[in-house]
Amino acid sequence: MTDDSDESVWQRVLAGDASAYGTIWRRHRDRVFRHHLTCGTPASDAEDLTAATFLELWRRRDAVRFVDRSLLPWLIVTAHNVSRNAARSRRRYHRFLAALPPPADVHDHAEDVVDERLAVVREAMAAARPADARLLAMTAVEGFTIREAAAALGLSESAAKMRLSRLRRSLRAVIGEQPLTEGGS
Query: For 39-86, what is each residue's pLDDT tens digit?
Result: 888 999 999 999 999 999 999 999 999 999 999 999 999 999 999 999
Question: Can you give the pLDDT at residue 60?
Answer: 94
Question: Can you give the pLDDT at residue 123?
Answer: 79
Final residue before a domain boundary, out of 99, 128, 145:
99
Judgement on whether residues 128 and 95 belong to the same structural domain of the protein: no
Q: How many separate domains does the chain show? A: 2
Whether the predicted pLDDT of 14 surpasses 60: yes
Question: Can you give the pLDDT at residue 28?
Answer: 96
As a whole number, mean pLDDT of residues 118-135 equals: 81
Half-sphere exposure of 156 (CA within 13 A, CB side): 3
Judgement on whether residues 19 and 93 belong to the same structural domain of the protein: yes
Question: Can you give the pLDDT at residue 134?
Answer: 87
Determine contact, residues 79/35, Cβ cutoff 8 Å.
Answer: yes
Range of the domain at 174: 110-184
Question: Can you give the pLDDT at residue 27?
Answer: 95
pLDDT band, residue 36 (cuts 50/70/90): very high
How confident is the model over 132-183, as pLDDT tens digits?
Answer: 888 888 888 788 999 999 999 899 999 999 999 988 888 788 777 655 554 4
Is 105 part of any domain? no
Question: Can you give the pLDDT at residue 160?
Answer: 93
Could you give the CA distance from residue 82 to residue 97 in angstroms, rounded to a whole number?
A: 23
Give the angle subtended at the CA of 85 by the CAs of 9 and 19, to the nearest 5°: 20
DSSP 67: B
Judgement on whether residues 82 and 26 belong to the same structural domain of the protein: yes
Question: Can you give the pLDDT at residue 185?
Answer: 43
H helix or E strand, kind and range, residue 184: none
Final residue before a domain boundary, out of 99, 121, 155:
99
Half-sphere exposure of 105 (CA within 13 A, CB side): 0
Residue type at position 103: P
Residues 6+ apart with CB under 8 A from 123: none
